[in-house]
Amino acid sequence: MKILFLKPAMYPSEKTNSLQPLAFAVLNALTPKEIERVFYDESIESIPLDETADLVAMSVETFTAKRAYQIASIYKERNIPVIMGGFHPSIEPAEALEHATSVAIGDAEGFWGQVISDLKEGRLKSIYRNNTESEYIQTSFDRSIFRNKKYLPFNMVQWNRGCKFQCDFCAIKSFYPKTLVSRPIDEVIQEIKELDNKPLFIVDDNIYQNKTELKEFLEKITLLKKRWGCQISLDVTRDDELMNLLGRSGCILVLVGIESLNDDNLKQMNKRSNLSISDYKSAINKFRKHGIMIYGTYIFGYEHDTNEQFEKAVEFSKTMKFALANFNPLYPMPGTELYNRLKKEKKLLFEKWWLDYDFYYGKAMLKPIKLSCKELEDGCFQAKRSFNSIRSILFRALDLNCNSKNLSNFLLYMIINLSNRKQIYRKQGKRLVVVE
C-alpha cells in the first residue's frame, strides 16, 4: 500500500525558499512502516500528477485551496481517493468535500489511525474529526520524509498549539477554539538535543503562554547552547526576568505581531498583548538589549488607518532596525471573528476570495473607512518596497547590536532579507489561478 503526501503551493510554477512543514513529519510518524510513503512539497518541487497511490493526503491552507482542489480532481479522475486536512478543510469542510473523498478536521493524532484502518478495508468515511480535548499533545515527528529536500537550513520544533489571546483577525482560535495544548517540556528538550546543529525555529504561534512554563523551557534550552528563533507576543517585554532568560537562552530572532501603531485599531482587533504596552520603542529595545533580531508584522485596513500609517510603520521599523518586517492588507480568514463580522455586515468585497478569479495577492478584501481600496493596496506594497530596498537592507545591516552582532547573525540576516525581497515582487498582484 502507498500513500502520497502532498503540500500544494499558491503558485506551483515557481519554487521558493521554504521551511519544513512539520504536519507531514507527524503524519509520517503516525503511518505504519509497512506502508510506502512519498512526499512532495510544491513550493520546492513539482508534483508528478501521474504518480500512482492508494491514497492522496493533502494539507491545505486557505491561500492554496484553489490549487489543492485542482490537484484533487486529477487524482479522483483516476479513482484514487483524496483526503484533505489542515486549516482550510477544518474550517470549510463542506466546501472541501465537494473536491475530496474525505475531509479531516483538527489535529491528525486524533484520527489518522482510523483513516489507515478504513483505507485498508476500502471504506473511507467522508469526515474524520479529532475530538480529543486533552491539554497535552501526544505526538512524535519522523523528519525522514524531508530527507534530500531543499528547505531552508532550519530545524522546526513545536511545543504548543493554540494561543492565549483572542485577536479578531487570527485563524488560530478558529482551529483551537477552546484550549491550548502542549507537549511536555522535557520531551521537547530531548527532541532538540537529538537534532543537528542547524538553527531552530519554534513554530508555536506564541511561545509565551505561561510564565512558569516559559521560564522552565528557557532555563533548559539554555543548557543546550542552541541558536533559535520563535514567535512571541510583545507582552513578554514587561517581565525582566523572562527577557534576561530569553537573551541568555540562545534566542537570536523573534517574530512579533506589531499589527498597528494606532491604539484604536488595536482595540478593534482585540490585540490585548499590545495594548498593555505603553511604549513600543522601549519594548522593542528590550529585545535589542539582548541582541535579539526582530521580525515585525503589520496589518492595514482597520477603521482608523490612513495613508500616514504606512509611512509611520516603515519609519518605525527602519529606525528600530527590524531584521524583517511585513506590511499586509487585512486578510479576513474564514472562521475568524473578523470574517464573520464583515460577512454579516456585508463588507467583504469577495466572500470566498480564495476561489474568486478576480482576487490577486495584495488585493483589498474590504473597503476601509479612511482609505480607498487602491490606497490600501498601493500603501502596503510601497511599504514593503521601501523597507526591503537595497538601501534599507544595508542600513539595517549596520546594526552591530543585533543584525550584525556576529557573522552568524549577519549571514542569517542577509539570507532572510534577500529571500523576503524576492518574495515581495514574485507574489504581488498574482491571481490564485490554477495551472494546467
Q: How many CB atoms lie within 10 A of CB 52?
A: 10
Q: Which segments of the chain have a pLDDT < 70?
A: 13-14, 134, 178-179, 433-436
- Is residue 361 within 8 A of residue 427, CB to CB? The reply is yes
> Quick one: pLDDT at residue 433?
65
> Quick one: pLDDT at residue 436?
47
Nearest CA among 12, 147, 107 for reference residue 66 = 12
Going by their DSSP bridges, the two strands 181-182 and 160-161 should be labelled as: antiparallel
Matching residue, cell 503526501 = 5
Hey, what's the cell of 53? Answer: 497511490
Q: Tell me the domain boundaries of the chain.
A: 2-129, 153-427
If one looks up domain 2-129 in CATH, what number appears? 3.40.50.280
> Quick one: pLDDT at residue 170?
87
Nearest CA among 372, 257, 243, 369 for reference residue 303 = 369
Nearest CA among 211, 206, 167, 202 for reference residue 339 = 167
Query: Where would I find the H helices in 223-294?
Result: 240-248, 263-268, 272-275, 280-289
Separation between Cα atoms, residue 187 and residue 222, nearest integer Å? 15
> Quick one: pLDDT at residue 82?
98
If one looks up domain 153-427 in CATH, what number appears? 3.80.30.20
Buried b (16+ CB within 10 A) or exposed e, 330-358: bbbbbbbbbbeebeeeeebbbeebbebee
Q: How many CB atoms lie within 10 A of CB 191?
A: 16
Q: Is 275 exposed, middle or buried (0-12, 13-18, 19+ CB in 10 A)?
A: middle
